[in-house]
Amino acid sequence: MSGVQRVLADMDIRGSLAVWVLGAHFYALLMPLALIWAAWEYTDYLAEVCDYPALLYFGAAWFSTGSAFEVAQNTMDRWYLTPDVPSANGVGMCDFLSYWFVGFGQGLIAIAIAGDSTWVWLAAVALIAAFPFTYFRQVAVHAPIGLMGIMVAVLAWLTFGDPVVFLMFALTGLTLFFFAALLNTGAQLLHGLTTIAASSGALLVPWAIVNGATGQQLSWLTVVLILAGTAALALLLRGPLNRLPPSPRAQTAG
């Protein structure tokens, strides 16, 4: 058995579906590069407006590490998500580490932006420390990560002056929307959409940095219209997506 055959033997998806899902996760691994580029390209600007801009590089690295752990968990789950696997509603070590590393990355970005404020350090450390308890007790599991994301968005808005960071609410909504439809239908096409929506949030802080440095901020009206449009699109797609048939598993496909 060749190396490729051995890899495929551990996957319950094949063909174009496998290319789509794996491609979405490759996209997620690469997204933190946008933050590295922005931190490098606008070094002088960030030195003026941020407290510890060098930490942005480390935040990006932790994001990519979190994505790598997500890939590891998906591999253990054979890349076919159902409600009972750790990648979905279960509990798994790599799943935990994936979220925790993302939380670390968010905390580092918060400190990079406004680390001279004691409350930022205290909030970041408290939320990072709280996540293992919420995760393993399965109580308000993602609350610490969600609150950390909101803190980063608010700090980025106050520092860079661009409300584009609040598009995180649109991306979070789409992530939950696609994820719920995935678990409801078993259509693994939605796995890729969930991953892309979730990982695209890594583009928002670099986007705000670029806009802040160039003075080309999005208007609040634009942000509100995008949020409203996202909600309307979700309502239109809710029925069709939840009627998708489940994807056949590779080992039983005929």
Q: CA-CA distances (angstroms) from residue 124 to 46, 109, 113, 134, 156?
A: 20, 10, 12, 15, 15
Residue 3 has pLDDT above 80, yes or no: no
In angstroms, the CA 223 to CA 165 distance is 9
Residue 6 has pLDDT above 90, yes or no: no
Q: Which of 149, 124, 142 is nearest to 202 (CA)?
A: 149
* Residue 254 confidence class, pLDDT cut points 50, 70, 90: very low
**Contact indicator for 96, 103 with CB cutoff of 8 Å:** no
Domain boundaries, the chain: 14-242
Mean pLDDT over 190-219 rounds to 96
* Of 5 and 97, more confident: 97
- Chain-wide mean pLDDT for the chain? 93
Q: CA-CA distances (angstroms) from residue 69 to 87, 93, 223?
A: 10, 9, 32
Q: Residue 11 has what pLDDT?
A: 87
Q: What is the pLDDT of residues 101-129, one digit of tens each?
A: 999 999 999 999 999 999 999 999 999 99
Tokens of 168: 């995180």
Residue 179, CB half-sphere, CA atoms under 13 Å: how many?
Answer: 15
In angstroms, the CA 212 to CA 49 distance is 10
**Exposed / middle / buried, residue 245 (Cβ in 10 Å: 0-12, 13-18, 19+):** exposed
Task: For residue 123, count other CB atoms closer than 10 A to its CB.
Answer: 17
Q: Residue 253 has what pLDDT?
A: 42
* Residue 90 confidence class, pLDDT cut points 50, 70, 90: confident
Q: CA-CA distances (angstroms) from residue 204 to 11, 125, 163, 169?
A: 32, 23, 10, 11
Q: Residue 18 has what pLDDT?
A: 93
- CA-based torsion, 146, 119, 34, 72: positive or negative: negative
* Residue 1 confidence class, pLDDT cut points 50, 70, 90: low
Residue 4 has pLDDT above 90, yes or no: no
Q: Residue 205 has what pLDDT?
A: 97
Residue 177 has pLDDT above 80, yes or no: yes
Q: Residue 252 has what pLDDT?
A: 47
Q: Residue 10 has what pLDDT?
A: 78
Q: Residue 150 has what pLDDT?
A: 96
Q: What is the pLDDT of residues 23-34, one digit of tens each?
A: 999 999 999 999
Q: CA-CA distances (angstroms) from residue 9 to 16, 69, 98?
A: 16, 20, 24
